[in-house]
C-alpha cells in the first residue's frame, strides 16, 4: 500500500510572500506539479506556487516562467 504524504501549496504574490495556502495529500512529488498549475488558474493574484513537504522544498511553479522539472524521480512505495 502506498503512503500518501501531506504537501503544502503556498500561493505567493510578486513580493514573494505567501497570501494563502492549501494542504493536499498526494502519493509522490510529481503529483504536485499539476495541482500547482490548477491553483494558479484559480487564483489570478498569485505569481507562483511554492510546494513543500514538511521542511523540504519540492517545487515552485511560476505563472509566466518556462516549465523546468526533473526527468526522473525516485518513487517511494
List the domain boundaries for the chain: 5-62
Residue 1: band (very low, low, confident or very high) from pLDDT cuts 50, 70, 90: low
Cβ count near 29 (within 10 Å): 20
Digit-coded pLDDT (tens) for 19-71: 999 999 999 999 999 999 999 999 999 999 999 999 999 999 998 866 555 55
Tally of helices (H runs) and strands (E runs) in the chain: 1, 4
Rounded Cα distance between 71 and 5, Å, is 21
For the entire predicted model, the pTM comes to 0.80
Amino acid at each position: 500500500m502506498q503512503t500518501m504524504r501531506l504537501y503544502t501549496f503556498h500561493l505567493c504574490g510578486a513580493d514573494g510572500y505567501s497570501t494563502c495556502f492549501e494542504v493536499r495529500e498526494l502519493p509522490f512529488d510529481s503529483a504536485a506539479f499539476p495541482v500547482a498549475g490548477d491553483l494558479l488558474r484559480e487564483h489570478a493574484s498569485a505569481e507562483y506556487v511554492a510546494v513543500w513537504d514538511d521542511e523540504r522544498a519540492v517545487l515552485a511553479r511560476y505563472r509566466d516562467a518556462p516549465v523546468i522539472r526533473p526527468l526522473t524521480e525516485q518513487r517511494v512505495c
